[in-house]
Chain A
């Protein structure tokens, strides 16, 4: 997915960009509202992450301008304020959701997915392997005539495999990708979820193979 991050703190912005890239996303960074407008003129973004306090204006003005121009790109506000009342005013101004600093990237990703799902236009956010289609936004898994909806963790695990078919992933890497860092997760959990995915993939052109001592990979059935 392609993100536009509007954030004036360069240290934070740098870390966020790096973190999102680790999950395979493309991220552009603008540190001012005018730079953001320039970015939006030349590229299409799936999502905008907007800091509210900016040097050349309030992020709220940006939101209002965005809505008045009927631009549909969803905006998730990154705010330093946690109060319920602030949140209500942000949503009233047209933000699709908000997240409070400091934030958990697993949660940010879940919120992005929820916002995109609500918006609808997500048909192209999908990956195909051997006739098996995984929609990364809706969590829909399709092959042949069958179609199932994956639960959140199943989706996050399968997303890793679809990102690099045939590549072997270690259990610890899979745990990192699947669980939020505030969760306590054990390596056994991976086995449980891999077993579930195998069931889900039964009859499709893909399967998950155990590579003894190394981890798992997805290969053609």
Chain B
């Protein structure tokens, strides 16, 4: 599997590579300049030393003599513990010093030092030679003064400078990498801001993105906005279609149902009355199923991009109970509300939670006998537990895990109308909110207890 390319990572790597190349170049340049500068210094001192020796040359009775000045060699000692060699030749004959000191680059002009690098006595040495003409005889003699020095001091200096330069280079590299990390992050901030603006939206928010975007992202945002516009118009067309279809189907159904009620009143024969009742039940069943199928679709759709609005579960429960109280009242069923006095805040989708609660309460009413109580509780501990307990005929020995499946109904439903989607809806809502739906037998022996268990955060 290939890893998705990351603009941030690529940007960072590229910047880091540039920084590394720059650091390396810096170290090389400094090292080169430093070693050349050190070489130059050595050459200057060597030349000065050779000149000083040459200055001490004199002639005595036709012989070239030399009083080696101490200072001439001591100035070389300042560099390091390098070994110093010298050689003075008169017309090629060694006058004093190390006769085997190789001098390959003989100076050709008076007082212009010549330099060379040789290998001598196991070390690399640098030599500086100076040519003088001493007038001891009528023609005079060509005297070459050569001073040499090993180069370990030079190497030490170069090394020291290199270490420092490497340190500086490394520091630069680290600094540059850190900065490029920051730069990569900040360059991508508009992208992240835009992503945030899109992901934070509620499930039905299809307004165009207006978050400030850099010019480079404008085409993307334009494309996104036009896509959302298309989605919006297609959704609203679907919505219109559903509204229109619902209206077209439900209005005549309402007419039929009402006329059936009127007819039912006027009929006397029990078998006729029963026929009308069957008709009404069929109408109720179809209307209920249609409603629940739509509710289920709505819940599935909203679960995909869950809106997390802070809401008060107590208020939401009260509202839903109030809404269903008249329906319960028809069977003389009373809602006993054991709710906390204060609000219980929860972050979730209010519409989905109401749909869940509505279906659970609707079941409790349907599967309870007249003159009974339905108890609604909210308990807050490590979780929020919203439970609805009834005194009806309960789940019996139905398989509690399969009742939440789509279109699954218990064997104990008798002729109560239903579509088998109520608990499915409640279960999906609970799971979308990171909770569970718990089915249990009522503690007071008879009846069912259905609880929405939601995480308390």
Contacts and interface: CB of A to CB of B under 8 A. Distances in A.
Interface string B254-265: 111111111011
Interface in A83-109: 83-85, 87-88, 97, 100-107
Nearest to A175: B273
Interface in A1-46: 9, 11-12, 15-16, 18-19, 22
Nearest to B281: A182
Interface in B272-331: 273, 276-277, 280-281, 283-284, 287, 290-291, 294-295, 298, 323, 325-327, 329-331
A15 B257 CA distance: 9
Contacts of B260: 181
A176 B268 CA distance: 11
Given A15-B259, A80-B243, A82-B290, A183 B251 contact: no
Interface residues of B, number: 52
Contact of B280 (A53, A83, A181): A181
A200 interface: no
Interface stretch (A67-75, A110-118, A210-218): A110-118
A9 B351 contact: no
B291 A18 contact: no
A31 B400 CA distance: 50
Contact of B326 (A12, A100, A110): A110
Given A22-B265, A102-B254, A84 B358 contact: yes
Contacts, number: 119
Nearest to B358: A84
A9 B329 contact: no
A187 B371 CA distance: 17
Interface string A169-180: 000100010001
Nearest to A176: B265
Contact of A113 (B251, B254, B326): B326
B355 interface: yes
A145 interface: no
- Which applies to chain B's interface (DSSP): helix, strand, loop or mixed? helix
Sort chain A's interface into a size bin.
35 or more
A81 B254 contact: no
B155 to A, nearest CB: 83
A192 to B, nearest CB: 10
A56 interface: no
A134 B4 CA distance: 76
B136 interface: no
B246 interface: yes
A110 B329 contact: yes
20 contacts: A9-B255, A12-B252, A19-B262, A80-B243, A80-B247, A80-B249, A82-B295, A85-B351, A101-B253, A102-B250, A102-B253, A102-B254, A105-B258, A110-B329, A113-B326, A151-B371, A153-B370, A181-B277, A182-B280, A182-B284
